[in-house]
Amino acid sequence: MKYKRVLLKLSGESLMGDQKFGIAPEMLVHYAQNIKQLTDRGVEVAVVIGGGNIFRGLNAHNSGIERVQGDYMGMLATVINGMALQSALEAADMTTRLISAIEINKIAEPYIRRRAIRHLEKGRVLIFSGGTGNPFFTTDSAAALRANEIGADVILKGTRVDGIYTADPEKDPKATKYSEISFKDVIQKGLKVMDMTAFTICQENDLPIIVFDVNDPQNLVKIIAGEKVGTLVS
């Protein structure tokens, strides 16, 4: 396998499936089956999942909720998604650990870097929830931070499209796809890969990002085998 340890970044919205909000059971099964393909091949997997299907902190002001309070609500939403994913993974016969950046000791382990790495070495799937534990930071930032802390080989960012394009391919039929692109070019062209904080963390630490279509069940296996899938940012 080209990659031994990976961090998979999933959006909360991806759990909705065809629904307008909440968690679609078929999506949990889909992700569990995808992740199992990796663990069966000996790949160490950590997951960061967003909470946008339940609550997005950035939209809190529309509800009259103060920004910091809204961000903490969003963190709790990621814990709920993490619990749902944990159940799906365990139903698929994987050993997991749900880790939260905010202390909820009845539900999740606190984040301790050395312990998290030991879990990975023992073949357990890590689910990082609660973001970074701080307001004003997205789950993209949490993914970049945790990936660097655990020594991941790559961040795999699952999206609805099969890579990074010159424009939004869902709106512009003339948009063309990049198979590879540098961090510098992403910034100069103003392409949206991750928020700038997360992107800078990856750039400064030379951590590659692969943006790919998470709905194709074969893509993860192809990526870890070294095949060119999606867009590589390095």
Per-residue pLDDT tens over the stretch 144-174 = 999 999 999 999 999 888 999 988 887 888 8
User: CA torsion sign, 113 to 114 to 120 to 123?
Assistant: negative
Task: Specify the range with the lowest mean pLDDT, choosing from 49-63, 173-187, 213-227.
Answer: 49-63
Sequence-separated (6 or more) residues with CB below 8 Å from residue 134: 101
Whether residue 138 is predicted with pLDDT greater than 80 in this model: the reply is yes
Vertex 199: Cα angle to 198 and 201 (nearest 5): 65
Count CB-CB contacts under 10 A for residue 72. 20
Compute the average pLDDT of residues 206-212. 96
pLDDT at 65: 87
Cβ–Cβ < 8 Å for 85, 91: no
pLDDT at 59: 65
Burial of 91 (0-12, 13-18, 19+ CB in 10 A): exposed
pLDDT at 60: 63
pLDDT at 31: 96
Q: At what angle do helices 67-91 and 25-39 cross, to 10 degrees?
A: 60
pTM: 0.94
What share of the chain in percent tops pLDDT 90?
75
Write phi, then psi, for 42 (nearest 5 degrees). Answer: 85, 10
Whether residue 187 is predicted with pLDDT greater than 90 in this model: the reply is no
Whether residue 32 is predicted with pLDDT greater than 90 in this model: the reply is yes
CATH of domain 5-162+217-227: 3.40.1160.10
Cβ–Cβ < 8 Å for 81, 53: yes
Residues 110, 77: Cα–Cα separation, whole Å: 17
pLDDT at 127: 98
Kindly report, residue by residue over 38-91, the tens digit of the pLDDT: 999 999 999 999 998 888 765 666 778 888 988 999 999 999 999 999 999 999
Whether residue 125 is predicted with pLDDT greater than 70 in this model: the reply is yes
Cβ–Cβ < 8 Å for 178, 161: no
Averaged pLDDT of the chain: 93
Whether residue 185 is predicted with pLDDT greater than 70 in this model: the reply is yes
pLDDT at 58: 59
What share of the chain in percent tops pLDDT 70?
98
Residues 221, 38: Cα–Cα separation, whole Å: 7
Kindly report, residue by residue over 81-121, the tens digit of the pLDDT: 999 999 999 999 999 999 999 999 999 999 999 999 999 99
